[in-house]
Amino acid sequence: MATGHFKQGIAGGRLSPEQYADNFSDLHPPLDHHEALVESDRCYFCYDAPCMNACPTSIDIPLFIRQIATGNPIGSAKTIFDQNILGGMCARVCPTETLCEEVCVREVAEGKPVQIGRLQRYATDVAMAQNKQFYPRAASTGKTVAVVGAGPAGLAAAHRLARHGHDVTILEARPKAGGLNEYGIAAYKSIDNFAQAEVDYVTSIGGIDIQNGKALGRDYQLSDLIRNYDAVFLGMGLGGVNALRADGEEAQGVTNAVEFIAELRQASDLASLPVGRRVVVIGGGMTAIDAAVQSKLLGAEEVTICYRRGQEHMNASAFEQDLAAANGVTIRHWLQPKRVIAEGGKVSAIELEYTAMKGEKLVGTGERLTLTADQVFKAIGQSFIPSALNGSGASFALEAGRIKVDADGRTSLANVWAGGDCIFGGDDLTVSAVAQGRDAAESIHRALTSNGRA
């Protein structure tokens, strides 16, 4: 009977404790003081800086880097938090290679951008280590706002609302706040329980009451919130996982990648976390990469990502794809799942079909391939479940299955705003959710104060 690394089926304890610790250490270790100074010195302090324009939260990047360079990391952190109160997490999880760093003039000129993400982490770490709070609350307005979901959008909205003196109640379905920062990010991007530390940092402003275990549609209705609060912000993210549409996907060992990632983040002992010996991940986005890489790091012998289109169509950035490859994950393109093969109810292989573009349309070629697998992860996207909004008593406008909002984040319902992954038109990024939450909060503030004081 094989043990450890080569255990058949889905099993834990594939590695030594040291290997787990090493595999799940910080992906991008923090810059030390000297490294931060040297890196900040590379910034040209560009005018109308491309990096700043590429940031969904419009952080004044040249200014915060200059403040690091001049020995003022606290001022630097304030420059970041002024625009993005979750700047600490964004420094860790932003795909900077497709945002600020992609357009850094030094990336364009030399292929070597200023390491903006790591510098942002340096400055925010300094401020958070001192629990330096920059924003006093305004005098209480007596207005109350309900926020659904304690993810990046909800936290950013809550902080901005609290700053303006409103009283915020966050209703969060899960046992912990943080949303995808807590449950949906690869463990090596957010070590040392950073997501909870950030929640504490953000809510230190006061006036934010987080109630866990409160799910919309289960424990309360939207109509309750509209009745009991002056305004409502919806930031509940995406509750559904798209199906494979392959025969036999109900077999044991076919798992949602997001659940696997969440379980891993919550695991107190990584060795207890079972993973297959041969893992196949279906999908082409960040979730697919996170699930595949972490499977490998947990000791899976063989991990293959199968994506139904070409490399150039993958949502995962080139950096993420390289990260997967560097960790020994095989990425295969132009393959779609057809059938999950099970033995005794447990997955033993997956049958895929080669695909090709026929004109504008993706079609199966008829040629099949079977990969041995004892675990299959579904990572082909998440969907918004609108049923939770039922009971609102009014029609709720959706667009392409997500909540429709205007430029201010207003939904079709009076006094209800929304932001983050649950709205249409977003890009499923933490940093965009923060921007949407922040901007919706400003809109709510304008609405509440003008209505209240007119």
Partner 1 sequence: MADIRNNFVGIKSPNPFWLASAPPTDKAYNVIRAFRAGWGGVVWKTLGEEGPPVVNVNGPRYGAIWGADRRLLGLNNIELITDRALQVNLREIKQVKKDWPDRAIVVSLMVPCEEHAWKAILPVVEETEADGIELNFGCPHGMSERGMGAAVGQVPEYIEMVVRWCKANTRMPVITKLTPNITDVRKPARAALAGGTDAVSLINTINSITGVNLDSFAPEPTIDGKGSHGGYCGPAVKPIAMNMVAEIARDPETHGLPISGIGGITTWRDAAEFMALGAGNVQVCTAAMTYGFKIVQEMIAGLENWMDEKGHASLDDIIGRATPNVTDWQYLNLNYIAKAHIDQEACIKCGRCHIACEDTSHQAITNMVDGVRHFEVIEAECVGCNLCVNVCPVENCITMEPLAVGVMDQRTGKPVSPVYANWTTHPNNPMAKVAAE
Q: Which is nearer to partner 1, 82 or 351 (CB)?
A: 82
Q: Which is nearer to partner 1, 74 or 362 (CB)?
A: 74
Phi, psi (deg, nearest 5) at residue 33: -55, -45
Nearest CA to 437 out of 405, 400, 395 is that of: 405
Does position 6 interact with partner 1 (CB under 8 A)? The reply is: no
Among the residue ranges 75-83, 154-162, 336-344, 365-373, the one whose residues contact partner 1 (CB under 8 A): 75-83
Q: Which is nearer to partner 1, 42 or 333 (CB)?
A: 42
Q: How far is the CB of 81 from partner 1 (least distance, A)?
A: 13
Q: Tokens 């420094």 identify what position? A: 91
User: Phi-psi bin for 177: left (phi > 0), alpha (psi -120 to 50), beta?
Assistant: beta
Q: Which is nearer to partner 1, 37 or 103 (CB)?
A: 37
Q: Tokens 């199966």 identify what position? A: 364
Pairing of strands 278-282, 375-378: parallel
- Number of chain residues interacting with partner 1 (CB under 8 A): 19
Q: Which is nearer to partner 1, 134 or 424 (CB)?
A: 134
Q: Which is nearer to partner 1, 5 or 137 (CB)?
A: 137
Among the residue ranges 4-12, 15-23, 58-66, 274-282, the one whose residues contact partner 1 (CB under 8 A): 58-66
User: E-assigned strands of 39-150?
Assistant: 144-148
Residue of 27, 63, 342, 362 that binds partner 1 (CB under 8 A): 63
Q: Which is nearer to partner 1, 5 or 132 (CB)?
A: 132
Nearest CA to 135 out of 118, 117, 153, 158 is that of: 158
Does position 45 interact with partner 1 (CB under 8 A)? The reply is: yes
**What is the distance between the alpha carbons of residues 409 and 430, in angstroms, rounded to a whole number?**
16
Residue of 57, 67, 255, 432 that binds partner 1 (CB under 8 A): 67
Q: Which is nearer to partner 1, 123 or 246 (CB)?
A: 123
Residues 6 or more apart whose Cβ sits within 8 Å of residue 311:
321, 331, 333
Q: Scan residues 426-445 and list those touching partner 1 (CB under 8 A).
A: none
Does position 137 interact with partner 1 (CB under 8 A)? The reply is: no
Extract the tokens encoding 288.
């697919």
With H, G, I as helix, E, B as strand and everything else as coil, classify residue 350.
Answer: strand
Q: Which is nearer to partner 1, 62 or 237 (CB)?
A: 62
Does position 75 interact with partner 1 (CB under 8 A)? The reply is: yes
Cβ atoms of residues 239 and 179 within 8 Å: no
Q: How far is the CB of 406 from partner 1 (least distance, A)?
A: 31
Does position 108 interact with partner 1 (CB under 8 A)? The reply is: no
Does position 37 interact with partner 1 (CB under 8 A)? The reply is: yes
Q: Which is nearer to partner 1, 74 or 271 (CB)?
A: 74
Among the residue ranges 40-48, 88-96, 162-170, 219-227, the one whose residues contact partner 1 (CB under 8 A): 40-48
Residue of 6, 22, 25, 41 that binds partner 1 (CB under 8 A): 41
Q: How far is the CB of 143 from partner 1 (least distance, A)?
A: 28
Q: How far is the CB of 152 from partner 1 (least distance, A)?
A: 26
Among the residue ranges 61-69, 383-391, 432-440, 442-450, the one whose residues contact partner 1 (CB under 8 A): 61-69
Nearest CA to 170 out of 199, 137, 128, 138 is that of: 199
The 10 Å Cβ neighbour count of residue 52 is 20
Cβ atoms of residues 192 and 27 within 8 Å: no
Cβ atoms of residues 134 and 81 within 8 Å: yes
Does position 120 interact with partner 1 (CB under 8 A)? The reply is: no
Does position 193 interact with partner 1 (CB under 8 A)? The reply is: no
Does position 110 interact with partner 1 (CB under 8 A)? The reply is: no
Extract the tokens encoding 249.
């996907």
Q: How far is the CB of 39 from partner 1 (least distance, A)?
A: 12
Q: How far is the CB of 137 from partner 1 (least distance, A)?
A: 16
Q: How far is the CB of 257 from partner 1 (least distance, A)?
A: 42
Does position 271 interact with partner 1 (CB under 8 A)? The reply is: no
Residues of the shown chain interacting with partner 1 in the complex, contacts defined by CB under 8 A: 33-34, 37, 41-42, 45, 47, 62-63, 66-67, 69-72, 74-75, 78-79
